[in-house]
Amino acid sequence: MNNCITFVPVGGLGNRMGAIASAATLAVATKSDLQIVWFQDWALHAPFHSLFQPVDETLCKIREATPLDYILLDRPRRFNLQLPRFYQKLRYSSCLYESSVGILRKEHFDFATWIRNNKRVYLASYSAFVHYDPRMICRLFLPREDLLKQIDQRASRFPALTIGVHIRRTDSVISIQRSPIEAFYQKLDNDINENGELGIYLATDSEEVKLLMKRRYGARIMTADSDSDRSSIAGMQAGTIELYTLARTSRIYGSFGSTFSEMAAQIGQLPIEVITRQ
């Protein structure tokens, strides 16, 4: 009988995708069965099936969290009085939570040996914790057909050379500080001087950034009309369309500390440059 991994991905869309790719890579390496429980919370309030097509079950099984899962399989936290911890200690041989996974990764912890030495484990993470082949992302995640049609339509308007720009703002102080809009201006101005036909696809969570970029670059700016709202299914679908449209560009200029930029580059197998203050 194979070892079993129960995995809970945490955080926003890019974080979860990288974390799931890590878990799937570990499951393949250790010949373990992988069950992913998809919880909805403030960071991502949408079911998995509302964003993506079903996953190849030879890699893993993904299911939506049930009301009982919120009692037994959610991460132990202050708001749930740490109650899931008691059940998980009884059910699993060993448990690793997101607060320790990042530390262990930096210490080069051997997650594969940990899994091999424990028949049934519980693991939660908000980021990638082992190296994975970016092609794993494409094997695991394919947007729903209706979302793919919108991605195709948006990308069909791209000029021959279109740069993807992701400027993160509302929920990340460090991105605002380290990747100011002026740094993007400098980079894009230089690119436009070299190629006057350049197109710019802008993905951002800030309506102010959209307005400023349109004022500066006019019709060459392409961007979504709707906001990316983590608190609604429609908002998360818009975010998924943004992510995969960004992956259709020629290269990406990303924001510091943003897994969204990095994930788009992995999906499209594109070069990425994180734009920071000089």
- Together in a domain, 66 and 166: no
Q: Which of 114, 137, 160 marks a domain boundary? A: 137
pLDDT < 50 positions in the chain: none
Supply the pLDDT for residue 277. Answer: 84
pLDDT digits (tens, 9 = 90+) for 256-275: 888 999 999 999 999 999 99
CATH number at 114 reads: 3.40.50
Domain that holds residue 120: 4-137
Number of domains, the chain: 2
Supply the pLDDT for residue 255. Answer: 92
- Together in a domain, 197 and 233: yes
- Together in a domain, 8 and 132: yes
Supply the pLDDT for residue 81. Answer: 93
Supply the pLDDT for residue 32. Answer: 97
CATH number at 255 reads: 3.40.50.11350
Whether 186 contacts 253, CB under 8 Å: no
Helix/strand/coil (H, E, C) string of the chain?
A: CCCEEEEEECCCHHHHHHHHHHHHHHHHHHCCEEEEEECCECCECCCHHHCECCCCCCCCEEEECCHHHHHHCCCCCHHHCCHHHHHHHHHCCEEECHHHHHHHHHCCCCHHHHHHCCCEEEEEECCCCCCCCCHHHHHHCCECHHHHHHHHHHHCCCCCCEEEEEECCCCCHHHHHHCCHHHHHHHHHHHHHHCCCCEEEEEECCHHHHHHHHHHHHHHEEECCCCCCCCCHHHHHHHHHHHHHHCCCCEEEEECCCHHHHHHHHHHCCCEEEECCC
Q: Which of 106, 121, 137 marks a domain boundary? A: 137
- Together in a domain, 195 and 89: no
Q: What CA–CA distance (Å, rounded) separates 166 from 252?
A: 8
What pTM, to 2 d.p., does this model score?
Answer: 0.93
- Together in a domain, 228 and 189: yes
pLDDT digits (tens, 9 = 90+) for 197-231: 999 999 998 889 999 999 999 999 999 887 656 67
Supply the pLDDT for residue 168. Answer: 85
Supply the pLDDT for residue 220. Answer: 95
Supply the pLDDT for residue 1. Answer: 79
- Together in a domain, 129 and 183: no
- Together in a domain, 226 and 253: yes
- Together in a domain, 114 and 226: no
Supply the pLDDT for residue 205. Answer: 87
Supply the pLDDT for residue 228. Answer: 58
Cα 16 to Cα 36, 38, 98, 129, 235, distances in angstroms: 11, 9, 12, 11, 17
Q: Which of 101, 118, 137 marks a domain boundary? A: 137
- Together in a domain, 11 and 76: yes
- Together in a domain, 161 and 127: no
